[in-house]
Amino acid sequence: MAADIMYTIHFYVLFVLSTLRCSSSFIGNGENYRRNLSLELNPGLNSLLTPLPPGVGLLHVRALGKNNTLHYLLCSQGAPALLLVHTNSTSSKVKVDWPAFLVQNTTGSLKLTPESSVLYSNALVFTRLWEYDDVNDTAVPEHLPPSSFFQPYELQNFTWDDLNKTLDPMAHTALLCGRGASESFSNGSLCLKFSAFDVEGRDQGWPSLLHNANSSQLRVVLDGVVPRSNRSRFSLELQVVGGTQAMSRVDVLQSIDDEYTPSIFKVSQWVSSPVNSTSPVLGYAQWKPVAYRRPSPLFEDATPCRHSTPVPVAQLPPSGLVRAYFGGERQTTGLNMTFSITGDPFYNTTNYLSWTVLVGLGSPPVDSFSPLVLVIMAVGLGTPMLIILLGGVCVCVRKNRPQPQVYEPIN
Ligand SMILES: *[C@@H]1O[C@H](CO)[C@@H](O)[C@H](O)[C@H]1NC(C)=O
Ligand SMILES: *[C@@H]1O[C@H](CO)[C@@H](O)[C@H](O)[C@H]1NC(C)=O
Ligand SMILES: *[C@@H]1O[C@H](CO)[C@@H](O)[C@H](O)[C@H]1NC(C)=O
Ligand SMILES: *[C@@H]1O[C@H](CO)[C@@H](O)[C@H](O)[C@H]1NC(C)=O
Ligand SMILES: *[C@@H]1O[C@H](CO)[C@@H](O)[C@H](O)[C@H]1NC(C)=O
Ligand SMILES: *[C@@H]1O[C@H](CO)[C@@H](O)[C@H](O)[C@H]1NC(C)=O
Ligand SMILES: *[C@@H]1O[C@H](CO)[C@@H](O)[C@H](O)[C@H]1NC(C)=O
Ligand SMILES: *[C@@H]1O[C@H](CO)[C@@H](O)[C@H](O)[C@H]1NC(C)=O
Ligand SMILES: *[C@@H]1O[C@H](CO)[C@@H](O)[C@H](O)[C@H]1NC(C)=O
Ligand SMILES: *[C@@H]1O[C@H](CO)[C@@H](O)[C@H](O)[C@H]1NC(C)=O
Ligand SMILES: *[C@@H]1O[C@H](CO)[C@@H](O)[C@H](O)[C@H]1NC(C)=O
Ligand SMILES: *[C@@H]1O[C@H](CO)[C@@H](O)[C@H](O)[C@H]1NC(C)=O
């Protein structure tokens, strides 16, 4: 018995210790891959020789690793697009033939040199904003008749602000805001907040996605747009164009910890990987299925969102960057991200929506249990076990004790 108790306590202590050790490795960032970031606007442009048309900007972020480089290119010529290129060289460079790039019909007017160093490339393009009149509050646009849809906002026709004004080279961020030509955008905008990361971490604001040195983030904010009906809801159409492997499927992973994104127990990742998934994921777009209805959201401002199944798209998306870099015949896949579900307030209640997506190389980051949750689990699981065992032991000890004689034997 005593040996059993000792054994149980020993086990419990080991469990708590190993959890603590495990969690401190999370605190200390088990993954400490680091990159050196540098930002430049419109690389190689001589604006005297080639004046930029208004609203066109090309942000280049160079994320230098020990023996490889990640290049992020964010471009507002046509539909806004983020291109990610991974090279196995530390001296790869972006080369833009600006006159050809601006005409938008020349493949190869933007390239990474030396071209043989390119290992992986993929572009995410924001093509359209759909608005529909959800009269029956179903929030499933796929099941609605075409008459429920308003004419979509083509993001290629938006007027985009100058990236130069919003660039923050120290924080590695930039804000790209655009407006449609219609009345609805007279006081409103669609903005993409871009952040590049040099090391693992987490954003302050919800959904607080975990990022690492191989990822960058885009937060889409639809602010102050006048909806075309009182019961309007929105969907955002996204398209990806891949170099070698198209991003063909969306995996939805479950989690039992929602500490960083309250009430959200899922993470979705649109991955580029071969059909037979034995080989690793090459690149991804990852998001939590949630949007927020206020800039500084409270719990009740969260609204779930849902993606449609990715489908092949016949044409390249209308992005100057994609045409210049990929051109020709490339696999394009698209999906719609639908914000809100049945019963949730319509857009008119706050006139605000924000949704965040992480774009990166390699396997998507995986949320691990926070140290707090691990300790709670250790105490929560360990304590009852200890009590049960100690209780059992006490009962046994009592039973085995010699019973006092209550009755005198009758002669
Ligand atoms: C990043 O820059 C620092 C200081 O400039 C340097 O010590 C370090 O080696 C660089 N790291 C990489 C991966 O280039
Ligand atoms: C780059 O460095 C990593 C470790 O930092 C190593 O595993 C890999 O083989 C290196 N690649 C090349 C091409 O040197
Ligand atoms: C691209 O457009 C320019 C001017 O619009 C035209 O002169 C040129 O022939 C076009 N090039 C291709 C390859 O279509
Ligand atoms: C980079 O990759 C290319 C193509 O895969 C290969 O030919 C080249 O040798 C690689 N360079 C280095 C430095 O690993
Ligand atoms: C809304 O519901 C009514 C009654 O069920 C139906 O007749 C109508 O077609 C629905 N409208 C839409 C756009 O689904
Ligand atoms: C958007 O621009 C394209 C190309 O310039 C044009 O064909 C299309 O009609 C425009 N769409 C809208 C809704 O303005
Ligand atoms: C950005 O703006 C600053 C000052 O407003 C100017 O000096 C700089 O040349 C601009 N850069 C580009 C790339 O346009
Ligand atoms: C935009 O804001 C101005 C001033 O706040 C207001 O007068 C105008 O009516 C607004 N426009 C729309 C379409 O809401
Ligand atoms: C980032 O990519 C590099 C190069 O492929 C790889 O060595 C490293 O482990 C990756 N780091 C993370 C955090 O995924
Ligand atoms: C939004 O639309 C709903 C449904 O038609 C309506 O009841 C509500 O008053 C509207 N809210 C605002 C702020 O306009
Ligand atoms: C994937 O696996 C299936 C069956 O396991 C096989 O028939 C198919 O050829 C594989 N495809 C590739 C691209 O390896
Ligand atoms: C997005 O939704 C609209 C409206 O239902 C549809 O016409 C379009 O084909 C969808 N796009 C994709 C990529 O599924």
Q: Which carries the bigger pLDDT value, residue 187 or residue 367? A: 187
Please identify, by atom number, the ligand 12 atom nearest to the C-alpha of residue 239: 13
Q: Say yes or no: CB of residue 230 within 6 Å of ligand 10.
A: yes
Does ligand 3 have an atom closer than 6 angstroms to the CB of 105? yes
pLDDT of residue 149: 97
Dist. CA 250 → ligand 2 center (Å) = 29
Q: Is the CB of 135 under 6 A from ligand 3?
A: no
Can you tell me the distance from the alpha carbon of 6 to that of 175, in angstroms, rounded to the nearest whole number?
60
Q: Which amino acid is at 35?
A: R
pTM of the shown model: 0.86
Dump pLDDT digits (tens) for 189-215: 999 999 999 999 998 899 999 999 999
Our CA dihedral for 263, 266, 267, 271, rounded to 10 degrees, sits at: -160
The DSSP letter of residue 142 is G
Segment 281-326, tens digit of pLDDT:
899 999 999 999 999 999 999 999 999 999 999 999 999 999 999 9
- Inter-residue contact 335 to 308 (CB < 8 Å): yes
The answer, yes or no, to whether residue 24 has pLDDT greater than 70, is no
Ligand 2 environment, Cβ below 6 A: 66-67, 88
pLDDT tens digit string along 30-57? 468 999 999 999 999 998 899 999 999 9
Query: 75-119, pLDDT tens digit by residue?
Result: 999 999 999 999 999 999 999 999 999 998 889 999 999 999 999
Q: How far is the CA of 95 from the centre of ligand 7 (A)?
A: 20
Name the average pLDDT for the chain: 88
Chain centroid to Cα 37, Å, comes to: 20
Q: What is the pLDDT of residue 320?
A: 96
Strand partners, 191: 177, 221
- Residue 278 tokens, joined: 């034995």
**226-245 mean pLDDT:** 93
pLDDT band of residue 21 (cuts 50, 70, 90) is very low
Query: Residue 391: its pLDDT value, please?
Result: 76
